[in-house]
Structure 1
Amino acid sequence: MVNNKERDITIYAVGDIGPDRADPGSIFRHVSGVLRQGDIAFCQLEINLSDRGVGPLGKENARDPKIAAAIKEAGFNMVSFASNHCMETGPDAFFDTIDNLKKQGLPVIGVGSNVEEARRPAVVECQDTKIAFLGYNSLARAEHFADVDRPGCAPVRAWTLYEPLEPTQPGTPARAHTFPYRDDLLAMMADVRKAKAQADLVVVSMHSGVHMTPALIAEYQIDMAHAAIDAGADLILQHHAHILKGIEVYGGKVIFYGLGNFAIEVHFMTREWAEMPSVREVRRSLNPDWNPPYPDYPSFPFPPDSRKTMLAKCTIADKEISKVSFLPVIVNKQGEPEVLAPDDGRFGEVVRYMTDITRDQGLDTRFTIDGDEVIIET
């Protein structure tokens, strides 16, 4: 008897990428074999791919356009460019990046020449299943968010309100409350509904969160993710924090609140930079364990816990998500991600870390180890 059942579809998703080396493809040497096994491999691009960067971060954040080919060669075929960095080096570099990615046949989500274009989904058809990807950003200067006649990223911005813990004691600590802009949230929900009308599944990418800080999930992140799922989204991928965050199951759908760093290199975080008074104060408030640079990790000056990361995996069968899991990953001393084997002691460290930070935020998500992956129980 001939088995006509189609094979499962696999989506891999990672957080921030931004190589900065002569051979950019080499940063993916340990993971490309896994990425290429997927039908779809998603990443968040944190840099501009252009020779025309301007402004204070122009030289640092506008990098070699050939990185676009390295991204494709690594196995990625879906890219979000919606971030706080997408317009930092000017509109020329912004459009160059989009063009360079598209020349490699890579769909780019979350950005455009106007807000309508930035909110447009990329729809991939695989095994007769249509999967729509939408991208949004919550962190940028006002002029970097796309508008009717302005290029930039698709916005789901947030307000911040500070509540004094002891209102009668001036100068004592405050609690931060965050809320999505109502109009942005409603627009995103409308986008999800529209995408769901033309696709079987909708994946929503959100650049959001409190950077460098362990565990903490901001209130607006939860509101955005829940609203997207209420509107019909099937999987939420959040990134930006440069450190892993917890995982929630809401309405039977999985929310990754922070995919962490994956393959990103930074060289401006020197000791002199870290000890500038303004930087030192912010750095210590975000994460007391963040004391760059780290001589053993010359291109990876992020907090030590940022070296623990993951490769999210979504399995689709019969046009529905049948399983969501993650592969524990470590960033090595060369700044390169490595997928960990179950018998590697660091595998357990990543799983325990994910369990701890998820529990820390009051989430009761359960994880089960199955071979080389960690199943998220839904």
Structure 2
Amino acid sequence: MRILGAGDMIFGGRKLRERFDPRVLELLDGADLVFANAEFTIPRPSTPAYPEGYTLGTHRWAAAELRSLGIELVSGANNHTGDYGHLGVLDTIDAFAAEGIELAGVGRSLAEARSATYADSPHGRVGLVATSTTGADGFRAADAGRKVAARPGLNPLRWSARYELTDEQFEQVLAIQRALGIDATHRETDRIEIRENLDPDRTSFGGASLRRAEQARVRFDVHRQDLEEICAAIEDATATADVVLVSMHAHEGEDEGWYSEQPAEFLVEAAHAMVEAGASAVFGHGPHMLRGIEVHRGAPIFYSLNGLTFDLETGPLMPAEMLEKYGHPTTAFPSRLHLGRRYGADGQPVGFSSEARFSDGLLAELEFAEGRLPTAIRLHPIDMRLGADTLGERGMPRLAAGEDATRILGDVLRMSKPFGTEIAVRGDIGTID
């Protein structure tokens, strides 16, 4: 069985199949099953946007575009799941269901969002468990409570950050709290809310949790119950599928950097636990750039494949708050925002358009001959052409070749070195033996 793993899909236009590089289509068509993350919402016209900021809503034909590419394993869990609120989650589930695709990682309740979805091929059955760390708190699903309905949302993998400071730094924070007058008011609030902090080596400032330590650093703690329940869903899926995949949408990187090359340490811990629960592979995505690859107990962990499409400029839906957030009048045309995020005042590319790494991606080809672990792993570098002149090409993938392929695979190899992963490059393809 051949499975092809892609990353995020963001697009506003149509006819993707006609705009893709034919060599990419050949890979998609040659796979038994294809995975991708749908990083968008498909709201009904009557569903209002959630005032979150940058929203990714699109038309109802978007699900059919994925179907046209042969993508049947689809995650809906990411930091744009809730762009149109809880109603938008239901709208998106329904839109994909109309195309015969059951979204993983989202649901009408937490139990549904936690559960695996399945796709069948002549060579085997594949289960998909999907989760998101980014947006996990704000968009998480919930089961019904006492006289309270279940809440639609995503399958969360929550986490928390704590900032460790030296004695001198910690005392400086305490002094600032006293100088601002917030030390006494915070203590009174905590006492009344029955959450009083009695630990002299712990405090909070501006919502951040601070601890006294030997050296300054940022530490991350994964939400234990979330991880345990996700692993339980993976283990359950192994009983009804030949192969179980995990989708993990995670922007978080080292030292809180969304665009750090190395993943946050809690993501490594979580991915290991997922493999140990029975995952055959973990497909990571989110930061709109590549990250390294690790092989844990024979299962590949792709900390970020980046994306398959990255078309931000033809998005048809734009809430007023989104324009306001980026300094435009609420009556402005969408092109004002799109151009401002593509070009600076000097006319030069900015943001995602300014660096090749945001165009670079991978298609991960996994071969399964027997058992739950892949017997072959091939890496196909792609270029999403964010610097292309026309909107029809921009954000659409082509297979990288020559110097571009060598550069992309070299970057992946460098980022994978900390995990002890060796990648052999043969022509324009990387392999992990």
TM-score after normalising by structure 2: 0.73
* Aligned residue in 2 for 1:348: 406
* Aligned residue in 1 for 2:379: 326
Task: Return the offset for 1:204.
Answer: 0.9
Is the contact made by 1:300 and 1:335 (CA closer than 8 Å) also made in structure 2?
no
Is the contact made by 1:32 and 1:74 (CA closer than 8 Å) also made in structure 2?
yes
Q: How many residues align?
A: 349
SS at match of 1:349: helix
Q: Given the superposition, is the C-alpha separation of residues 253 and 223 from structure 1 closer, same or farther in structure 2, using an over 3 Å criterion?
A: same
Q: Given the superposition, is the C-alpha separation of residues 182 and 299 from structure 1 closer, same or farther in structure 2, using an over 3 Å criterion?
A: closer
Task: Return the offset for 1:126.
Answer: 2.6
Is the contact made by 1:212 and 1:243 (CA closer than 8 Å) also made in structure 2?
no
* Aligned residue in 1 for 2:147: none
CA distance in 2, matches of 1:60, 1:27: 24
Q: Which amino acid aligns with 2:303?
A: Y
Q: What does residue range 66-77 of structure 1 map to in structure 2 within 5 Å?
A: 66-77=61-72
CA distance in 1, matches of 2:90, 2:399: 33
Task: Return the offset for 1:298.
Answer: 9.5
Pick the aligned partner of 2:399 from 339, 359, 363.
339
Matched residues, percent identical?
26
Task: Return the offset for 1:102.
Answer: 1.6
* Aligned residue in 2 for 1:247: 293
* Aligned residue in 1 for 2:430: 374
User: Cα RMSD between the aligned structures?
Assistant: 3.0
Greater mean alpha carbon deviation, residues 326-335 or residues 124-133: 124-133
* Aligned residue in 2 for 1:21: 13
Greater mean alpha carbon deviation, residues 21-30 or residues 31-40: 21-30
Q: Which amino acid aligns with 2:295?
A: V
* Aligned residue in 1 for 2:3: 11
CA distance in 2, matches of 1:67, 1:218: 32
Q: Given the superposition, is the C-alpha separation of residues 32 and 49 from structure 1 closer, same or farther in structure 2, using an over 3 Å criterion?
A: farther
Pick the aligned partner of 1:311 from 363, 384, 396.
363
CA distance in 2, matches of 1:178, 1:339: 36
Find runs of 4+ consecutive structure 1 residues off by over 6 angstroms.
272-276, 295-299
Gaps of 5+ in 1: 1-8, 277-290
Q: Which amino acid aligns with 2:292?
A: G
Is the contact made by 1:179 and 1:223 (CA closer than 8 Å) also made in structure 2?
no
Task: Return the offset for 1:70.
Answer: 1.1
Q: Which amino acid aligns with 1:68?
A: A
Task: Return the offset for 1:114.
Answer: 0.2
CA distance in 1, matches of 2:8, 2:410: 22
Pick the aligned partner of 2:35 from 20, 42, 52.
42
Task: Return the offset for 1:19.
Answer: 0.6
Gaps of 5+ in 2: 144-149, 174-214, 316-321, 329-339, 389-393
Is the contact made by 1:136 and 1:205 (CA closer than 8 Å) also made in structure 2?
yes
Q: What does residue range 109-124 of structure 1 map to in structure 2 within 5 Å?
A: 109-124=104-119
Q: Which amino acid aligns with 2:398?
A: E
Q: Which amino acid aligns with 1:54?
A: A
User: Could you say which structure has the larger radius of gyration?
Assistant: 2
Q: What does residue range 1-378 of structure 1 map to in structure 2 within 5 Å?
A: 9-21=1-13, 23=15, 25-30=17-22, 31-50=24-43, 51=45, 52-56=47-51, 60-140=55-135, 142-148=137-143, 149-164=150-165, 166-169=166-169, 170=172, 174-210=216-252, 212-267=258-313, 293-294=342-343, 301=353, 303-320=355-372, 321-332=374-385, 333=388, 334-341=394-401, 344-359=402-417, 362-377=418-433
CA distance in 1, matches of 2:12, 2:349: 14
Q: Given the superposition, is the C-alpha separation of residues 206 and 177 from structure 1 closer, same or farther in structure 2, using an over 3 Å criterion?
A: same
CA distance in 2, matches of 1:117, 1:302: 40
Q: Given the superposition, is the C-alpha separation of residues 26 and 86 from structure 1 closer, same or farther in structure 2, using an over 3 Å criterion?
A: farther
Task: Return the offset for 1:127.
Answer: 3.3
CA distance in 2, matches of 1:251, 1:243: 25
CA distance in 2, matches of 1:14, 1:47: 15
Q: Given the superposition, is the C-alpha separation of residues 368 and 144 from structure 1 closer, same or farther in structure 2, using an over 3 Å criterion?
A: same
Task: Return the offset for 1:175.
Answer: 2.2
Q: Which amino acid aligns with 2:73?
A: M
Q: Given the superposition, is the C-alpha separation of residues 322 and 43 from structure 1 closer, same or farther in structure 2, using an over 3 Å criterion?
A: same
Q: Given the superposition, is the C-alpha separation of residues 275 and 219 from structure 1 closer, same or farther in structure 2, using an over 3 Å criterion?
A: farther
SS at match of 2:301: strand
Greater mean alpha carbon deviation, residues 52-61 or residues 219-228: 52-61
CA distance in 2, matches of 1:59, 1:189: 31
Task: Return the offset for 1:302.
Answer: 6.9
TM-score after normalising by structure 1: 0.83
Q: Which amino acid aligns with 1:252?
A: G
Q: Given the superposition, is the C-alpha separation of residues 168 and 304 from structure 1 closer, same or farther in structure 2, using an over 3 Å criterion?
A: farther
Is the contact made by 2:311 and 2:396 (CA closer than 8 Å) also made in structure 1?
no
Is the contact made by 1:24 and 1:67 (CA closer than 8 Å) also made in structure 2?
no
Larger strand share, 1 or 2: 1
Is the contact made by 2:125 and 2:242 (CA closer than 8 Å) also made in structure 1?
yes
